[in-house]
Amino acid sequence: MMDTGMSIDTGFNSERMQEMEALYSDALLKDVVPFWLRFSLDHKHGGYLTCLDREGDVYGTDKAMWLQCREAWMFSRLYNALEKRPEWLEAAHLGVEFISRHGFDADGRMFFLLTQEGEPLRKRRYLFTECFGIIAFAEYARASGREEYLHRAKELYRLVVDLYRKPDALEPKVFPETRLMKSLAAPMMLLATTQELRAFDTDPLYGIIAGETSREIIRDFLKPDEKAMLETVGPNGERLDIPEGRCVNPGHAVETAWFLMREGMFQGDEMMVETACRGLSWSLELGWDDDHGGLLAFVDIEGKPPERLEWDMKLWWPHTEALYASLLAYHSTHERRFLAWFESIHSYAFARFPDEEYGEWFGYLHRDGTTANELKGSTWKGMFHIPRAMLNIMLLLREIMDREDDDTIKEG
């Protein structure tokens, strides 16, 4: 589909930044987005079909609601951030209307899996689908000018916050009488959701929740003595000597790091930015496969056998998250080691994940980098991590170049 052999050097200059921006722009707008526009939209029943094989043919028609929300957000975000293309707004509308009609149970929470027509199949105890519903409604409200969707986003946000603050309100993963534990994914997701909604609204609650979740992540999940961001801890951050308690999920860790970086930059908190960059460094160093390159899916911090059978696979989304996180860290600190990480991750990812024949990216590689599964979408892989990272990288590069141009004008 495109030439992906570009080598990113260890210093930024205007020519190099323009080259990188063009590469990611082409990957996003000439490859990834067209794939989903062509094959994913369900014009008959609404929403999106995400179980797509290598060529884009549908191999399953059930609809995961978190992917419906993610795709609606992504099309809305493209419309808001890049260009007012009617086809993007129409695609976003297709998803938001399906979500509104079929996505909610009587208790106000969202279903996880529906049939193609919108009949409920499954509901999970996690709040992740609701978080993606919030950002989809908010971003679409801005794109369409329809304030009722921002109102729905805010209502759903308050429900999520209420449930988050009452851990016993949701069915626990294990019997709390036997073992209390919590996951990084919960405060990570709520922080990211809050940051997105805060861009459209001024409710003081956003600052409160962003502060609470940021502090919780740093206090309970970042472990300086072990140089790790753990995936699961006790209720007060206790280290659990079980496989779950020793597990680092490099993808979640690097994603959380850039959420924290973004929060520190928003608050003007240099210490938070530095802490986030340390967490990013630890996660990349723990997750990087020195033998074959790329990021492992799971790591045991004591070097014991990881319990997850897919631990040594190379998945698409940790690499996209690491690309943006490392570039943002370089932009924030000007430390060349983060640019070196960006170079290594970019070289690995663009040499293996993109499908030059049929477009989009493969999602699952064996440890040696060979393709393990040729699907392009599923219940878990949709139109989100890849285009979000590409868009974020494009916008960050443009910001850097614009700032340098402004500095040149001021100096002149």
Residues 226-237: tens digit of each pLDDT: 999 999 999 999
Average pLDDT over residues 285-303: 97
> Which of 4-18, 297-311, 382-396 is predicted with the least confidence, judged by mean pLDDT?
4-18
Which residue in 358, 391, 374, 383 sits closest to 1, CA to CA? 358
CA distances from residue 211 to 3, 57, 67 in whole angstroms, order as listed? 43, 44, 28
Does residue 284 register a pLDDT over 70?
yes
pLDDT score at 10? 45
For the domain spanning 41-171, the CATH number is 1.50.10.20
Average pLDDT over residues 170-195: 91
Does residue 332 register a pLDDT over 60?
yes
% of the chain at pLDDT higher than 90 = 88
pLDDT score at 405? 60
pLDDT score at 12? 66
Residues 43-87: tens digit of each pLDDT: 999 999 999 999 999 999 999 999 999 999 999 999 999 999 999
CA distance 180 to 397: 43
Secondary structure (DSSP) of 290-333? TTT-SB-S-EETTSPPPSSTTTT-EEHHHHHHHHHHHHHHHHHH
Coil vs helix vs strand at 72: helix
- Whole-model pTM: value is 0.94
CA distance 248 to 245: 9
Sheet bearing 314-315, strands edge to edge = 314-315, 364-365, 371-373
pLDDT score at 232? 97
Name the helix (H) or strand (E) containing 282: helix 270-287
CA distance 381 to 38: 17
DSSP3 helix / strand / coil % (the chain, rounded to 5): 55, 10, 35
CATH class of 180-382: mainly alpha
Count CA atoms closer than 13 A to 95's CA, side-chain side. Answer: 35
Cβ-based neighbour number of residue 141 at 10 Å: 22
Coil vs helix vs strand at 4: coil
Residues 125-169: tens digit of each pLDDT: 899 999 999 999 999 999 999 999 999 999 999 999 999 998 778
Q: How confident is the model at residue 356 (pLDDT cuts 50, 70, 90)?
A: very high
Average pLDDT over residues 257-261: 98
Average pLDDT over residues 242-265: 98
Does residue 2 register a pLDDT over 50?
no
Encoding tokens for residue 400?
């850097």
Residues 305-315: tens digit of each pLDDT: 999 999 999 99
Q: CA 164, 168, 169: angle at the middle one, nearest 5? A: 65
Secondary structure (DSSP) of 156-213? HHHHHHHHHT-GGGS--SS-TTT---EETHHHHHHHHHHHHHHTT---THHHHHHHHH
pLDDT score at 201? 93
Cβ-based neighbour number of residue 17 at 10 Å: 17
pLDDT score at 352? 98
pLDDT score at 274? 98
pLDDT score at 16? 83
pLDDT score at 9? 42
Does residue 264 register a pLDDT over 70?
yes
Average pLDDT over residues 344-355: 97
pLDDT score at 17? 86
Mean pLDDT of the chain: 94
pLDDT score at 312? 97
% of the chain at pLDDT higher than 70 = 95
Q: How confident is the model at residue 3 (pLDDT cuts 50, 70, 90)?
A: very low
Which residue in 34, 64, 31, 33 sits closest to 48, CA to CA? 64
Note whether 322 and 341 are within 8 A (CB).
yes
CA distances from residue 285 to 93, 282, 375 in whole angstroms, order as listed? 41, 5, 29
pLDDT score at 14? 82
* CATH 1.50.10.20 domain position(s) in the chain: 41-171
Q: Are strands 182-183 and 222-223 parallel, antiparallel or unpaired?
A: unpaired
Does residue 114 register a pLDDT over 50?
yes
Which residue in 329, 320, 325 sits closest to 348, CA to CA? 320
> Which of 97-106, 118-127, 173-182 is predicted with the least confidence, judged by mean pLDDT?
173-182
Encoding tokens for residue 137?
């409604």
